[in-house]
Amino acid sequence: MKYTTIFIFLLIILSCGKVEKLDFADYMNFIENEKSGLNMVKEIADYKIQVNYQPAEYLALKESIDKEKQLSADKFSKALPHYRNHYYFRMRIENKKQYNNPIMEQSGDYDEYAYILEYMSFYAQNDLKLVAGKDTLKCVNYHFENNYKLLPFNDIQMAFKKPQTPVNENLTLIWDDQVYGVGRIKIEFENENINNIPQPIIN
């Protein structure tokens, strides 16, 4: 039922070209759903690369919803300005071949594992960039989530500072991989999908 509702909203938005409003739970699901055009997937060799565009409202909501899934409008209004000036993405690297962590799959021994872990933790940021119109933006905020080999994927949170002049073109995330053997990866987000993101209802 949840995905049916999201799909209906997607049809309305894409057909009408209007920004709709959703309650915060449906909004979160919309941003994370692949049909929204905001959660893009590429499969290369043994890996599934998934990149989710995360607007300011989405990140502010994540800070404002408690364990009982109740939303604090006050927390939301305070958190939102902190995310306005950057583009945010979450990239997930998943091993689709078997239930192994991607770093474990690539490393043959402990030294190689330590090298890949160090690269992903501290240096992969230098191999990420975002093309926004005529601007090529550096990754200014980066966090590799080390799950200590317990999960078959690794997540990276990243941010790119927005240009002073508003961009009204597609965004293309580029990653020059150095350790997984997938080479250069380009993932494009259409400007239309970004402009037509619904607004969350904040009560």
DSSP-assigned beta bridge partners for residue 95:
47
> pTM, whole model, 2 decimals?
0.87
Distance of CA 82 to the CA centre of its chain: 17
60, pLDDT greater than 70: yes
Token pair recorded at residue 41 = 């997937």
Higher pLDDT, 114 or 81: 81
More confident position, 18 or 59: 59
Please list the residues that pair with 35 across neighbouring strands. Answer: none
**Contact indicator for 22, 201 with CB cutoff of 8 Å:** yes
What does DSSP say about strands 153-161 and 47-53: parallel, antiparallel, or unpaired? unpaired
Which residues make beta-bridge pairs with 156? 91, 144
How far is CA 136 from each of CA 18, 36, 114, 152, 198, rounded to the nearest angstrom? 29, 25, 31, 32, 27
H helices then E strands: how many in the chain? 7, 10
Average pLDDT of the chain is 88
What does the buried/exposed string (b/e) look like for 3-16 if buried means 16 or more CB atoms within 10 Å of the residue's CB?
eeebeebbeebeee
CB 93 within 8 A of CB 158: no
- Closest C-alpha among 97, 83, 202 to residue 153: 97
**Residue 17 pLDDT > 80, yes or no?**
no
**Cα distance between residue 178 and residue 29, in whole Å:** 32
- Which has the higher per-residue pLDDT, 156 or 203? 156
- Six-digit token string for 179: 């350790």
User: Does residue 79 register a pLDDT over 90?
Assistant: yes
pLDDT for 15 equals 47
